[in-house]
Structure 1
Amino acid sequence: MADTNHSTGKKWGQTEKAQWLSEQSVKRSYHQEVMLQVEALSAKFEVVNYGALSYDAERYPLFILKNFNWEDSNPTILITGGVHGYETSGVQGALKFLATKAEDYTNFFNFIVAPCVSPWGYETINRWNPLTLDPNRSFYPESPAEEAASLMRAVAKTNAKIFAHFDLHETTDTDNTVFRPALAARDGVTQDNWNIPDGFYTVGDAENPQEAFQGAIIDSVRQVTHIAPADENGQLIGVDITQEGVINYPVKSIFLCTGFSDAEYCTTTEVYPDSPLVNDEDCKNAQVAAVVGGLDYLLSIR
């Protein structure tokens, strides 16, 4: 029996991947925790079903929400949550933004919100999909990750040019205890990065960093939760910071969600829910604050 937690120096084949999948189980309800909130929001926003995951189409329908007062002359904002299904506040933060703040901005922006891109991952508390693919490394043409492929088709179908993209994520302690070891085992490599930043940070686009935009998000979130300090090397997760709480990745070349939208402004938020200084509500509020801070900045430069 293959070890699905530690690297053997050999990449997983289909046998090891099937074993990993057999070890996964449903731990919470997408219907109860997400779909019922989407249904409740249908009075305020247009709910568009853009398909379903083939793993269980009835159990995992996919939705985006759009503002009813769509105006083609307004910039369009894309908000995505649950690309990594296990990152709870990304999903719940997107829904809370819709429920509490979005209507304050619909006269100025159009919104496309996909609150839970990976519902199987949400229910099983997983970073990967059932094929051991990471959706947040899979946003490219003909993607084999149907979570990514379905979202890209749905956004393209709107014919909207995305002005800003907020992709809502978390960094959790289970990254070290579960997901980094599994990644090392799957790929037959040694995992060298074990850094878990203690606090909130953002990931911008190295080719288009928009530092003032990122800084506005950080300033907004610091009113809700603490910002992750750099480590002794001036880094977060092995990457040099560009300002407090901000690092940059080449988002397009590594096929992150924020890369496919080709937005002028993009950010990946990273909340730290395992800190003793925060609770679940703080984490949701931090995601909302990140979006609000970014939107207020965009309004200030219009």
Structure 2
Amino acid sequence: MGGSYRFPIGTPGQKWDEEERKAWYKQTTIKREYQKEVVPKIMALKERYDVGQYGALSYDVERFPLYAIKSRNWSENKPVVLVTGGVHGYETSGVHGALKFLETEAQRYISDFNILVAPCISPWGYETINRWNPDAIDPNRSFYADSPAEESVNLMKLISGLDQDVLVHIDLHETTDTDETEFRPALAARNGEDYVEGMVPDGFYTVGDTENPVPEFQKAVIDSVRQVTHIAPADDQGEIIGSPVVQDGVINYPMKKLGLCGGVTNCVYGTTTEVYPDSPKVTDDECNDAQVAAVVGGLNYVISQL
């Protein structure tokens, strides 16, 4: 169904200009603090990892430094694993799941891999619980040359500075009820389109790359997460969020074409996780644990292929 809900900013059928974008920005509010909830967890990892700043958001460089955490004893003889979280800042378990992986599991893999984690790519979005950045731009549609999103630009610079190719990239996300109640209606309004209501799947799923789907790798991720939380079923059309389910709990997107974070490298093994935190069947801790399980399942599979 569509057209029954009108986002309060903008004129139906007309794309936003600068005035509407500013109006959208003015109605955002700070709801939690990156410096209190995320940065201390990052700093606590310094005893076991190399923690460095790879940039800062110009909106407030003191408030929004960008951190990356690297495994020690980096070696050209080990393949590189990239874990990213918080591309959409509001997707909480992406951030805290990435950090929990470092806290609880990553040490088991440093003999096999060089591990690089960027846990909170969009800290302004984290604080305002937003999908976009202050310019009403989605960083997760902005991973391409001359990107307008500085969140995406900073991560691309970090990756381009590596002296090795990335073998594995796991990008941690969530699908939430607010995708349909807030963020997709805002997107339709921004683009001057009608909002067409979709269905939020109840459960975990992954998004593979249409150009490189690696189904056995996706299966390993799903099977690992299945030990922690339930997997999203297909809807009556055999789809999840409007895309065909190609295997249990898996859909595919053209990562590079859409400018997604999942396409930021030329990795052999890649997946984008999607946790559903609004399900009555899960807790916040289980959401974080599901993200950890996704990374663990993926890495265990890759080790079996090395």
Match of 2:88 in 1: 84
Q: Residue 135 of structure 2 aligns to a residue in which SS?
A: coil
Match of 1:263 in 2: 267
* Cα contact 1:85–1:117 (8 A) shared by 2: yes
* Cα contact 2:45–2:103 (8 A) shared by 1: yes
In structure 2, distance between residues paired with 1:62 and 1:260: 17
Q: RMSD over aligned Cα, in angstroms?
A: 1.2
Match of 2:299 in 1: 295
Q: TM-score when scaled to structure 1?
A: 0.98
How many angstroms does 1:3 deviate by?
5.3
Q: Which runs of 5+ in 2 are unaligned?
A: 1-5
Match of 1:51 in 2: 55
**Residues 213-292 of structure 1: pairs in structure 2 closer than 5 A:** 213-292=217-296
In structure 1, distance between residues paired with 2:29 and 2:201: 28
* Cα contact 2:84–2:118 (8 A) shared by 1: yes
Cα shift readout 1:109-145 (whole Å, capped 9, x = no counterpart): 0011000000000000000000100000000011110
Match of 1:63 among 63, 67, 73: 67
* Cα contact 1:216–1:297 (8 A) shared by 2: yes
Match of 1:148 in 2: 152
**Residues 44-193 of structure 1: pairs in structure 2 closer than 5 A:** 44-193=48-197
* Cα contact 2:239–2:245 (8 A) shared by 1: yes
Q: How many residues align?
A: 301
Post-superposition, which runs of at least 4 consecutive aligned residues in structure 1 deviate over 6 A? Answer: none
How high is the sequence identity, in percent, across the aligned residues?
Answer: 57
Q: Residue 42 of structure 1 aligns to a residue in which SS?
A: helix
Q: TM-score when scaled to structure 2?
A: 0.97
How many angstroms does 1:258 deviate by?
1.1
Cα shift readout 1:239-272 (whole Å, capped 9, x = no counterpart): 0011110000000101100111111111000000
Match of 1:25 in 2: 29
Q: Residue 277 of structure 2 aligns to a residue in which SS?
A: coil
Q: Residue 36 of structure 2 aligns to a residue in which SS?
A: helix
* Cα contact 2:7–2:186 (8 A) shared by 1: no
